[in-house]
Structures are given as structure tokens and as C-alpha cells.
């Protein structure tokens, strides 16, 4: 993240199953919803297959006029870049060294905070997630899920690609769907070089419960129970595209429950229920070079 200039907001672990692994959150200065990119580094696992039924592209929103800066910066770090236009938006594209596709897209009037330094000034710093591109083999079934299930508005197509909108204000509200009927399905497990899921922010537990019941009522019964993720509570749903979506509600205090705003991300934090295994787990995790 030295290249992108995001702030490491939280260093913690996730324990789904029996082996702990890091869960690292990067975002803007305050780690606002809509700015977060998270990673589960697990170098001991096999590389996953990228394919359909996954989030394929992560688009980062940057201020108007900054695309050329980012192209130069990426190239100065030895990354190959491309320029293309899709769904009416110009993009500078590159791949993360792990293989995941990223893009920069200029956004208009995004007043979210940013994180500056390391050669990145406020007039270029990333404002957060602009959109994601989900690859699907089947468009109509996924469209129906997005519109009837989640409340997205169908915003039209460009070739094989479709755009959907949800919400308003400063959070990311664009979802791009890449219709790739012949693309083999990608892996769903936690594996190197793939996006496991995307998360949407919900305002409160009532909205989360209402959404879960609504989806189940439509027949989308693959909605998980509410999982306590220490800083937020989440439900997960396997969508008809194959991609996994998460609906998260931030807990009281959020990131600030165990660190101050100034010291976010400095220390490795464990949820209370893992406190007694902290030393044992920390010993299994390799040190992070920042």
C-alpha cells in the first residue's frame, strides 16, 4: 500500500476455522466506510483461480485531473499500466502484484477525507472505493438479485457490461457487472490473488435484519447468521453471480474501540474473545514489514 498511499487502519486477526490469519484494513485517515480495502495475507495457501463468480476489478476513486499523476506514479514503481474507457468512465488500470485487477477512476465532488504523504498530495490522494466490477456468467438472474433483493437501480449497459446504482452521498454507490458468459468460474475459498467478497455498509441492526428476511423471503436462503467481526457485525450472502456479498453494521465506536484516531493501525489487536490466545497466535504470525 506504499504505492497507493492508503493508511493502515487496523491490524488484527480473523479466526474463521482453526488457523489465525491477519486481517489488515487500509483506508483514508479515519477509515471511513467506502474507503476500505482489506486483505487476509496467507502466503502458505495456494493461489486461487480468478474467474467468473467473483469480484474481478477494484476501482479506486481519485480527484479530477489526477489520472496522469497516478499513471506516472504506478510506472515509477515498475507497474505496467493501461488506459481504457468502460461504462462511460476513463480508467487507468494496473494489477496488484498478487494479480488482482485495480483501476483509478476520477470522481466528481467526492469530499471524503484522504490520507496524504509519501509523495501523494491531497489533490491526488485516493478518496475511497469508486466501484467494483463483478464478473458473472448469467446477467438476468444477477440483475434480479441486485434490483429486487438489494434495491439497486439498473443504470444501463455498455456492450456486455452493466452498471447499477445504490444509495447517495459520499459512500461508493456504483456496482459494475461484467457479463462474461464463457469465463470459467473462479475460486470461492480464501486463496492468494483473488477477491473473496465485498462489503456494503448498512445503518443499523434493524436494516440488516430486514434485509436478511427480505432476501430469505425472495428465496435467497444462503444468508448467514450475524457474525461478530469485533468492529462491525456482518451477514454474508452468496449471490446468483457466485460472488459473495457482505452487509455490515459498524459497532459502537468502530475502529476507536481499542485505539485512538492518531494511533490507528499501530499495534496488532485481538478481539476480546481471543485475548487469552493472543501470545500463542501472535507467535504463529510472521512479522509485518511496513
CB closer to Fe ion, 89 vs 211: 211
Q: Which residue's CB is nearer to Fe ion, number 155 or number 201?
A: 201
CB of 102 to Fe ion, least distance (A): 18
**Taking the complex as a whole, how short is the minimal distance between the CB of residue 144 and Fe ion, in angstroms?**
24
Distance between CA atoms of 279 and 290, rounded to whole angstroms?
Answer: 21
Q: Which residues pair with 236 in a beta bridge?
A: 246
Closest approach of Cβ 197 to Fe ion, in Å? 6
Helices (H) and strands (E) in the chain, counts: 4, 16
> By C-beta, is 127 or 197 nearer to Fe ion?
197
Q: How many amino acids of this chain bind Fe ion (CB under 5 A)? A: 2
- Helix or strand run (H / E) with residue 75: helix 67-76
> From the CB of 246, what's the least distance to Fe ion, in Å?
5
CB of 40 to Fe ion, least distance (A): 9
3-class secondary-structure state, position 120: strand
Q: Are 37 and 127 in contact (CB under 8 A)?
A: no
Within residues 198-237, the interface with Fe ion by CB under 5 A covers 199
The span of 19-27, 39-47, 147-155, 238-246 binding Fe ion (CB under 5 A) equals: 238-246
CA–CA separation, 5 vs 172, rounded Å?
Answer: 19
26/94 with CB nearer Fe ion: 26
Maximum alpha-carbon separation in the chain: 54
Using CB under 5 A as the binding rule, the residues of this chain from 253 to 282 that contact Fe ion are none
DSSP conformation letters of 14-25: E-SSSS-EEEEE
The rounded distance, in Å, linking the Cα atoms of 10 and 24 is 6
Encoded one letter per residue, x for contact with Fe ion by CB under 5 A and - for no contact, window 83-102 reads: --------------------
Q: Closest-CB residue for Fe ion?
A: 199
- 6: contact with Fe ion by CB under 5 A: no
Q: Which listed range, 14-22, 97-105, 239-247, 267-275, lies at the site for Fe ion (CB under 5 A)? A: 239-247
CB of 36 to Fe ion, least distance (A): 9
By beta-carbon proximity to Fe ion, the closer residue of 110 and 246 is 246
Contact 110, 127 (CB under 8 A): yes
Residues in a beta bridge with 104: 60, 92
Q: What is the rounded CA–CA span in Å between residue 93 and residue 80?
A: 8
Q: Which residue in 190, 196, 200 sits closest to 166, CA to CA?
A: 200
Identity of the residue, 4 or 55, whose beta carbon is nearer to Fe ion in the bound complex: 55
Cell 506516472 found at: 72
| Beta strands per DSSP E along 111-230 | 128-136, 153-158, 161-165, 174-179, 197-201, 227-228
Site for Fe ion in 146-205 (CB under 5 A): 199
Q: Which of 246, 247, 264, 265 binds Fe ion (CB under 5 A)?
A: 246
Residue 234 Cβ vs Fe ion, minimum distance, rounded to whole Å? 6
Q: Considering only the stretches 47-55, 67-75, 241-249, 257-265, report the one whose residues sit in contact with Fe ion under the rule CB under 5 A.
A: 241-249
Contact 125, 35 (CB under 8 A): no
- Give me the residues that bind Fe ion (CB under 5 A), please: 199, 246
Amino acid at each position: 500500500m506504499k504505492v497507493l498511499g492508503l493508511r493502515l487502519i487496523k491490524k488484527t486477526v480473523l479466526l474463521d476455522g482453526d488457523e489465525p490469519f491477519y486481517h489488515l484494513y487500509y483506508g483514508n485517515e479515519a477509515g471511513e466506510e467506502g474507503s476500505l480495502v482489506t486483505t487476509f495475507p496467507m502466503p502458505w495457501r495456494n493461489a486461487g483461480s480468478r474467474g467468473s463468480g467473483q469480484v474481478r476489478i477494484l476501482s479506486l476513486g481519485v480527484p479530477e485531473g489526477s489520472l496522469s499523476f497516478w499513471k506516472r506514479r504506478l510506472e515509477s514503481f515498475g507497474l505496467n499500466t493501461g488506459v481504457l474507457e468502460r461504462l462511460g468512465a476513463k480508467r487507468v488500470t494496473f494489477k496488484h502484484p498478487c494479480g488482482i485487477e485495480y483501476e483509478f477512476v476520477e470522481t466528481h465532488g467526492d469530499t471524503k477525507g484522504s490520507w496524504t504523504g509519501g509523495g501523494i498530495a491531497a489533490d491526488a490522494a485516493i478518496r475511497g472505493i469508486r466501484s467494483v466490477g463483478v464478473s458473472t456468467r448469467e446477467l438476468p438472474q444477477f440483475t434480479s438479485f441486485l434490483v429486487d433483493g438489494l434495491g439497486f437501480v439498473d443504470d444501463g449497459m455498455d456492450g456486455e457490461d452493466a452498471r447499477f446504482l445504490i444509495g447517495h452521498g459520499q459512500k461508493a454507490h456504483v456496482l459494475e457487472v461484467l457479463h462474461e458468459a464463457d469465463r470459467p468460474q473462479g475460486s470461492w475459498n480464501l486463496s492468494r490473488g483473488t477477491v473473496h467478497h465485498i462489503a456494503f455498509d448498512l445503518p443499523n441492526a434493524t436494516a440488516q435484519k430486514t434485509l436478511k428476511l427480505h432476501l430469505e423471503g425472495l428465496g435467497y436462503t444462503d444468508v448467514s447468521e450475524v457474525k461478530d467481526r469485533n468492529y462491525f457485525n456482518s451477514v454474508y450472502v452468496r449471490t446468483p453471480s457466485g460472488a459473495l456479498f457482505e452487509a455490515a453494521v459498524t459497532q459502537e465506536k468502530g475502529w476507536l474501540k481499542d485505539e485512538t484516531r492518531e494511533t490507528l493501525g499501530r499495534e496488532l489487536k485481538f478481539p476480546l474473545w481471543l485475548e487469552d490466545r493472543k501470545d500463542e497466535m501472535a507467535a504463529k504470525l510472521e512479522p509485518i514489514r511496513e
